[in-house]
């Protein structure tokens, strides 16, 4: 992973209570989880803000809205292959560099050589299929399927082929979430 520059910190909308309210709101909306944050979680948000600067709220929003993709990337980059089913502030704090990388990718316009934007529109970079929602039933792999997924993540593996096989095993129902749910 390349080194990314963390934006300078200002006080615009980045207070810990504001970040906590954002976290709680997204957790309730996306995952149906409504609970107060612990003092430890407030401390983790403070550390996250210190590390991510002005993009903290945007990185939180991006990670929560795309938890499966974010958590999978973080788990693969660390080599553990394990991630929490539901978002966890501590996991996001531990893997803040992945969140910053994904934020940078998402906010960097795609440049196509020798292309002319239509109607002066700027290119938009997207990371995930926006049609997938958190209310859809998450994919829960069997131990055998999980082993196939992990093997496909090796340099010589073919993850697309494995996902296709798993979809066929699941009676042609598309896999909703490419992540481990339990």
Tell me: the pLDDT tens digits for 3-50? 455 445 444 458 999 999 999 999 999 999 999 999 999 999 999 999
Residues with Cβ within 8 Å of residue 142, at least 6 apart in sequence: none
CA 136, distance to chain mean position in Å, is 16
Q: Is residue 130 within 8 Å of residue 106, measured between CB atoms?
A: no
- Residue 133 pLDDT > 70, yes or no? no
CA distances from 57 to 38, 52, 159, 172 (A): 19, 9, 32, 38
Angle of helix 96-107 versus helix 56-65 axis, rounded to 10: 90
Which residue has tokens 């997938």?
132
pLDDT higher for 102 or 159? 102
Question: The pTM is what?
Answer: 0.57
């Amino acid at each position: 992973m390349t080194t990314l520059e963390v934006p300078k910190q200002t006080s615009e909308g980045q207070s810990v209570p504001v970040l906590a309210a954002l976290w709680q709101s997204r957790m309730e909306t996306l995952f149906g989880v409504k609970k107060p944050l612990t003092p430890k979680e407030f401390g983790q948000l403070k550390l996250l803000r210190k590390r991510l600067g002005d993009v903290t709220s945007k990185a939180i929003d991006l990670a929560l809205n795309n938890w499966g993709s974010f958590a999978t990337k973080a788990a693969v980059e660390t080599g553990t292959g394990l991630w929490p089913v539901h978002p966890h502030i501590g996991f996001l704090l531990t893997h803040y560099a992945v969140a910053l990388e994904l934020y940078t990718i998402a906010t960097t316009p795609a440049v196509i050589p020798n292309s002319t934007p239509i109607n002066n529109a700027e290119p938009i970079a997207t990371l995930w299929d926006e049609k997938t929602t958190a209310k859809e039933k998450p994919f829960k792999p069997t131990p055998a399927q999980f082993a196939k997924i992990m093997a496909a993540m090796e340099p010589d593996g073919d993850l697309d082929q494995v996902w296709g096989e798993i979809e066929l095993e699941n009676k042609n129902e598309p896999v909703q979430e490419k992540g481990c749910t339990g």
